[in-house]
Amino acid sequence: MFGISLQFEPKIVQVSLIEPVQAVVIDQAAIEREKIHKADLQRQREEEVRRQAEKKKAERLEVKRQADLKKRQEVERKRKQEEKKKKETEAKHKAEAKQQEEKKKKETEAKRKAEAKQQEEIKRQAEEKKQRDTEAKRQAEEKKKRDAEAKRQAEEKKKRDAEAKRQAEEKKQREAEEAERQLISFCKSAFLALVGEIKNKVHNNWTYAGDATGLEVTISVKVTRDGEVASGNVGLSSGDAIFDRSAVNALRKASPLPFPDDPRCYEKNKEFNFKFTP
């Protein structure tokens, strides 16, 4: 606010008396500064309120943390007490089991001694009887020797028969293995003889719009007994997914594939890898 004073040259004039008008000049910049100052004070008060709230929140969290820590410590204390009690119980059970085992051992030893004593008595009586029956025993021993010799000869014969049987089984196994090797070789040759036909048939069913120069894909193939393609999956890709799919499609369209007529060769060749190269 500014005060304005006006000074005039004195003149003698006649004027009518009227109420003076007060002029006020408003400084807009000062008003703006006051608004900014009030806004700053408001933000400071809000910031203080927020800081106090966060401080109270942190204090509550600390109280909760301390309570949780105390709770965990109490749980750990109870766990240790339970563990100690469990160990004491186990130790007690072990001690009782050991006492029972020692008691059982003593009873077993006592029983063994009683049985040994009884056996000694039986043996003594047997010895006395042995002396009375010397002649009968001698004859029995002679018969026993004859029986033993017959048994030995029978066991030797049994061993000879077992050895002959073992050799026969080994021979049979060698013959079977040789037959299996010959069958595998035969089936492999029969299948390899048809590889060219399979390739030609697949190529005749192959269509591909791009440039396939230098591309090669390996397809894992499984066929039925009639050569029908049961499944064909890319095993080793050429790097060109479209080319790979075109090769698989050609293989499926070529079904059934040429396949050995001998049914024994099915199990040997029912799954194979087919390399397709344009």
Task: Calculate Rg over the CA atoms of the chain.
Answer: 56
Residue-level pLDDT at 4: 58
One-letter identity of residue 24: V
Q: Which 3-state string (H, E, C) describes the chain?
A: CCCCCCCCCCCCCCCCCCCCCCCCCCCHHHHHHHHHHHHHHHHHHHHHHHHHHHHHHHHHHHHHHHHHHHHHHHHHHHHHHHHHHHHHHHHHHHHHHHHHHHHHHHHHHHHHHHHHHHHHHHHHHHHHHHHHCHHHHHHHHHHHHHHHHHHHHHHHHHHHHHHHHHHHHHHHHHHHHHHHHHHHHHHHHHHHHHHHHHHHHHHHCCCCCCCCCCCCEEEEEEECCCCCEEEEEEEECCCCHHHHHHHHHHHHHCCCCCCCCCHHHHHHHCEEEEEECC
CA 142 to chain centre: 71
- So what's the pLDDT on residue 261? 87
The four Cα atoms 5, 8, 13, 17 give a dihedral, to 10 degrees, of 0
Q: Give the per-residue pLDDT at 265.
A: 86
pLDDT number for residue 1: 41
Residue 55: is it exposed, middle or buried by C-beta count within 10 angstroms (0-12/13-18/19+)?
A: exposed
Give the chain's residues under pLDDT 50: 1, 8
pLDDT in tens, 102-121: 999 999 898 999 898 999 99
The reported pLDDT for the residue numbered 108 is: 87
Burial label for 243, CB within 10 Å (0-12, 13-18, 19+), is buried
CA of residue 201 relative to chain centroid, distance: 44
| pLDDT at residue number 77 | 94
256-271: pLDDT as tens digits: 999 998 888 888 889 9
User: What is the pTM assigned to this prediction?
Assistant: 0.39
Rounded CA-CA distance 146/153 in Å is 11
